[in-house]
Structure 1
């Protein structure tokens, strides 16, 4: 080990420099987020290994973040959410509310209010995790970028969690620290944080509903589904027992998918009618739709639509093993000149034709009557083995699976929702820990075939997990080196002896620590400082404790101060400046609201 003669405070300055460098790297997109965070942690660990300084994280300390209970819980929740997504459970549970959204503001109102309410009683991480795929589909339906919805989703969950002692793990941590102090001030009321939390949440939701359109960027993908020149013709039958019966095409959401339209409706009595937005659809109607591939895949997520004659149910492969496959008809295909019905795909290939594309033109008539030509692109529902069998034959070429083309198991939706509710209830009532609940729910999703083991594995977003694990290590380094404590001490000293000024300094210092590290670490750092400040002023520590609860959750200006912010960072395509531009006004709003409500309720003066 190399011994270096450097002033005693150098680990603090090194940690601060690494944290600032990380922020700059994220701001300017120097490299991938997970690489930047890992590199920052590696610098601190390398220096500790070379110098042996105890104020920096050891390799064991750095690795501890990746074994954190919260990180493991998030990984398990990805699999739980996959079970909901693959069965259409999330759409079933939220469709009644989000299905009526007509635009961005309507979608925000319908999404943010229930998310904030749920997060007051449930851990906000699984709430956000469960709604990520739903919000993506919602954004597609109302034709806006997901970036307009995902960051408000995270912020609403954070705001709702401020309102009760069990809303976040941070509040529970602070409560435990408060109880650990043997004092005469008594227990904290379950709704103690609501004194500031509820007004801050109401104003914060109003701000996001009205400001999202102006302050959040419209980050659209480089290629939109509506730009796809290849149009598929697809037939779907209205399930007579489904939710679409009696609705108009508009009400059923069939005009909301971009790059897709209903061309004709074939009634049960054989009549064919041109489709209009206000036209009602009934059980057993056959809808002939034309659209791009992604829209056809999304169409199959909608409840109430089935394959005509339900051919897919006759396949000799269970639904949970099937996937969507694109296959281009070869000139040597034995089916050329035959109609799709005559081709007997089920008996010949153990597959069902879902849609047909022939260049950019719409095919006339029913799919079963379309005569197969060389170059036709068929969208098939088949087993994974179809790919291996056909690649060695001459009937098709360019056979490939469709991304996000896993077949939905709608019949399992009720089971997936029941598993999720059981998980949330057990965790919320503290019957078991959220980690245990998530672990059991993950296994149950696979056991009941709501998702497969492969789908659960593929659902893991490793970049998110790496960022969170490494960020925990950096947070510990901020605490261990004294950097976070030094920042907090400077702010408190500037408040002099003013009670309200000291309360404000505690709040601001906690927010800064939260943005630099994690919310739990910030709360742990600031609690003893705030307690000492309250005792020095001869005041009850309760308002300072509540201020820490609110401020430790009020992470709106960086993507790694709070787990839900990190979860939406990559999938929303955000940049660091998006958090600053959209989050800074919200931080000021929460700060001002908290100071006014806490000073009024506890009678704190200048």
Structure 2
């Protein structure tokens, strides 16, 4: 062992320690390790920076933009909401939810999918009196299943693909990983619909587990003259399966119609009473011919040009508007804000917004001007005034265009008309030219922390390879496992990779194992593709801990999970994925 090998191993061990203990952010830890190897002369500046020009890393960056454009369409949420159904059969609803999510995650980034669906599924669970712990962990797992189907399913796939190209190899084709990923995904869905479902806890989360954004508001929308939904039924107008919204009542000529049947025809002047989340209430403006009354000159469109913003205000016990309606309190003139919706704890309000008598503790969703916060923040009329995150503007036409661009990109890469990198570049250029996404919006969708982590990790992988560390570890590994044969070595590589994934990050695990698995393949004479596919699947298949994969962590709090829940459900799933991966890879490549 040379001093260079010893130093690289020491740096990697310290890096792993910092990652496991979560002393700092993963991208910062890995970047510091790269910088140390550069400063000590282990890496030249050229080698240290190779990761920042790596084709796989840059492809990930462009795909963030493509996924962001598709996400803005709002079409994805509608697909999953329809798939959930009524909730009468929980197990069937679980499988119906997981199937489309797995399919979507094969082409879109996993994290925004889970972020988008977590509040929607949680609300659906509450409405159907189902514990969200039965659905949220499967949501995360479904995105992991789908991520192993295609080249663009996860950043890990593209990272290994990019490193293969760096080594002068061809890299993965679009669906090459799917030869292992599809059988594994099907097995995972079957497992979650049977054994996994039984192992999932049926645990009600505490009220604190629900973020403020899940408050159910009551709001009112007016059917305008010449609206395209006039004469249509509620079902035909698309008002029955709205994402996170429920039409509870229609007020027509002063008469209330409730409950609202799906075959009820809509008339001009109908006032539609909805309950829903903050973001979905605001999304009502997307429906042509519907108008949310704000009562002031500001309109919801002003949210997007900076002239207005949403705030939540809690009515205090000494407020001057208690037991008064919006009109009686002269709310518009007094506060310069319009009441869009009202939420009342543990009580469903059966009234249109304008007729609601304010009570202490009511939370008002307001459309206000720029000076509202300054003027009324310390007012005795409200206990709390807080800004609401601005909802993203959605455009179904641009969303459809984004999906078409995504499909064309996949076709170009699948039939190798263009490389994955070039297809992604072309897709992004097309989205910019057609204004399906703006430069400002694109920047918001790029996860720069992921890109820095990938680029830095590639540099560390180069150091492991160039110093002979990978060859030294491979020789030791082969000496210990030679009695197991190549298939046994493959299983050991899978176990080591998945162990690293569960305690650090998927990308770091893949980069650490890439040069080692390549050296093992060269020394045993095996096809290196077998080992590269194995580490790619193993690095993505993180089921046993909440820290191994970002989506597992996202659902940890909202689902009310404990660390032991992940171990109980995830370890059998990890073993299932290992068995399918090793046997399939051995059959196809060894």
**Aligned counterparts of 1:358 and 1:598: Cα–Cα separation in 2:** 56
The RMSD of aligned alpha carbons is 5.6
How far off is 1:354 after superposition? Answer: 1.1
Residue 588 (1) aligns with residue 575 (2): yes
Could you say which residue in structure 2 is the equivalent of 1:38?
Answer: 28
**Cα displacement string for residues 41-98 of structure 1 (whole angstroms, at most 9, x for unaligned residues):** 535744763xx352xx578866765666655655665565555555524324554435
**Aligned counterparts of 1:392 and 1:177: Cα–Cα separation in 2:** 57
**Aligned counterparts of 2:41 and 2:143: Cα–Cα separation in 1:** 38
How far off is 1:422 after superposition? Answer: 0.8
Shift of the 371–553 alpha-carbon distance from structure 1 to 2, 3 Å rule, reads closer
**Cα displacement string for residues 384-411 of structure 1 (whole angstroms, at most 9, x for unaligned residues):** x25367459989766845434x34645x
Unaligned ranges ≥5, structure 2: 127-131, 501-507
Could you say which residue in structure 2 is the equivalent of 1:492?
Answer: 478
Spell out the pairing of 1:194-273 with structure 2 (5 A cutoff).
196-213=180-197, 220=205, 223-225=208-210, 233-236=218-221, 241=229, 245-247=233-235, 252=240, 265-273=249-257
Shift of the 168–114 alpha-carbon distance from structure 1 to 2, 3 Å rule, reads farther
How far off is 1:568 after superposition? Answer: 1.8
Could you say which residue in structure 1 is the equivalent of 2:505?
Answer: none
Unaligned ranges ≥5, structure 1: 182-186, 536-540
How far off is 1:525 after superposition? Answer: 4.4
**Aligned counterparts of 2:172 and 2:216: Cα–Cα separation in 1:** 61
Could you say which residue in structure 2 is the equivalent of 1:156?
Answer: 145
The 3-state SS of whatever aligns with 1:161 is coil
**Cα displacement string for residues 340-359 of structure 1 (whole angstroms, at most 9, x for unaligned residues):** 35778779987542123578
The 3-state SS of whatever aligns with 1:160 is coil
**Aligned counterparts of 2:317 and 2:176: Cα–Cα separation in 1:** 73
**Aligned counterparts of 1:582 and 1:572: Cα–Cα separation in 2:** 14
TM-score, length of structure 2 as denominator length: 0.70
How far off is 1:133 after superposition? Answer: 0.8
Whether contact under 8 Å (2:114, 2:551) holds in the other structure is no
How far off is 1:282 after superposition? Answer: 4.4
Whether contact under 8 Å (1:236, 1:307) holds in the other structure is no
Residue 354 (1) aligns with residue 336 (2): no
The 3-state SS of whatever aligns with 1:429 is helix
Shift of the 474–528 alpha-carbon distance from structure 1 to 2, 3 Å rule, reads closer
Could you say which residue in structure 2 is the equivalent of 1:403?
Answer: 388
Spell out the pairing of 1:111-130 with structure 2 (5 A cutoff).
111-117=97-103, 122=107, 126=109, 129-130=112-113
The 3-state SS of whatever aligns with 1:381 is strand
The correspondence for 2:14, drawn from 11, 14, 18, is 18
Could you say which residue in structure 2 is the equivalent of 1:418?
Answer: 401
Moved more, 76-85 or 152-161: 76-85
State the number of aligned residues: 555
Could you say which residue in structure 1 is the equivalent of 2:116?
Answer: 133
How far off is 1:14 after superposition? Answer: 0.8
Residue 508 (1) aligns with residue 495 (2): no
The 3-state SS of whatever aligns with 1:142 is helix
The 3-state SS of whatever aligns with 2:252 is coil
How far off is 1:558 after superposition? Answer: 5.3
Could you say which residue in structure 1 is the equivalent of 2:412?
Answer: 429
**Aligned counterparts of 1:480 and 1:6: Cα–Cα separation in 2:** 12
**Aligned counterparts of 2:172 and 2:575: Cα–Cα separation in 1:** 26
Spell out the pairing of 1:247-396 with structure 2 (5 A cutoff).
247=235, 252=240, 265-275=249-259, 282-283=265-266, 286-288=271-273, 295-301=277-283, 309-311=291-293, 315=298, 317-318=301-302, 320-321=304-305, 322-327=308-313, 339-341=325-327, 352-356=338-342, 365-370=351-356, 377-382=363-368, 385=370, 387=372, 390-391=375-376
Whether contact under 8 Å (1:77, 1:129) holds in the other structure is no
Shift of the 443–211 alpha-carbon distance from structure 1 to 2, 3 Å rule, reads farther
Whether contact under 8 Å (2:105, 2:113) holds in the other structure is no
**Aligned counterparts of 1:261 and 1:304: Cα–Cα separation in 2:** 16
How far off is 1:586 after superposition? Answer: 3.4
**Aligned counterparts of 1:478 and 1:579: Cα–Cα separation in 2:** 32
Shift of the 579–527 alpha-carbon distance from structure 1 to 2, 3 Å rule, reads farther
The 3-state SS of whatever aligns with 2:388 is strand
